[in-house]
Amino acid sequence: MKKADRENHRPVALVTGGARRVGRQIAISLAEAGFDVAITFNKSASDAAETLDSIQQTGTAAFGLRADLTDCDSAPHIAASVIETFGRLDVLVNNASIYEPGGIKEAKDGQLADMWAIHYRSPLLLCRSVEKQLRKSRGHIVNMLDVLAEKPMPSHAVYCASKAALWNLTLSLARELAPNVTVNGIAPGVVDWPADYPKADRTKYLRRVPLGRAGTPLDVANAVVFFCTKAPYVTGQVLRLDGGRSLT
């Protein structure tokens, strides 16, 4: 499906890391809201195929692109592929992420580089690569952050610091890309338990959540859709989507 094959009148969203978990739900919810959707994936090819099929079932177009976001050259390639396919871009969701332990003593050089690349450098380079298109469409950027950027865990220092960098970038971009593009962030608490997360630790965590439950990928996706469809006068904001956990 090349740009020359059809004239696209529907808005287009790009979701990085959109093959599985939260990214998958964001992509599907944007499709349900009327967007044609492009997703990137790296090692999750089978998950990506299932997600693309689910998007197409909503009646919108879907496009998947394998990309390694630790590679500096991936951002312009992603941008060019999406624009060539759809002819436009209205929304960028920087969702791709890796979550793994790593304090200052344990972190290896490779982990430092990968975390920085995926959580900060690639989002910045993607924003730069699609700036012209987003300004033209008066589009929206949503960066997926984490409440741990404000309340870091020493055992995950590298992850938390790289997410904090993306948090700050969100605020900077909101000023730089105004008035044409809105830029906001979503900082979830737990919205999709890791499979190996101990039951006792889950119970302990939930005791400090005023709403008494973990979040869901749909909670996050609904917030993304809000920023992209219902909030034209909101920019430079970070929504703490944690059931009130950051208050305790």
Locus of tokens 């920023």: 227
Q: Identify whether 113 is part of a domain.
A: yes
**In tens digits, what is the pLDDT along the chain, a chain of 248 residues?**
444 344 568 999 999 999 999 999 999 999 999 999 999 999 999 999 999 999 999 999 999 999 999 998 999 999 999 999 999 999 999 999 998 888 878 888 888 999 999 999 999 999 999 999 999 999 999 999 999 999 988 889 999 999 999 999 999 999 999 999 999 999 999 998 878 888 999 999 999 999 999 999 999 999 999 999 999 999 999 999 999 999 99
247 DSSP assignment: G
- State how far the Cα of 40 lies from the Cα of 180, in Å rounded to an integer: 25
Q: Identify whether 5 is part of a domain.
A: no
Q: Determine which one of 99, 120, 159, 233 is catalytic.
A: 159
Any catalytic annotation for residue 233? no
Q: Identify whether 1 is part of a domain.
A: no
Which alpha helices (DSSP H) does the chain contain, by range? 21-32, 45-56, 74-86, 109-116, 122-137, 157-176, 199-206, 217-229
Task: Report yes or no on whether pTM surpasses 0.75.
Answer: yes
Q: Identify whether 181 is part of a domain.
A: yes
CATH of the domain at 217: 3.40.50.720
Which range marks the domain in which residue 164 is found? Answer: 10-247
C-alpha R_g of the chain = 17
- State how far the Cα of 117 lies from the Cα of 95, in Å rounded to an integer: 13
Q: Identify whether 46 is part of a domain.
A: yes
The SS3 of residue 142 is strand
How many structural domains is the chain composed of? 1
Nearest to 238 by CA among 227, 222, 225: 227
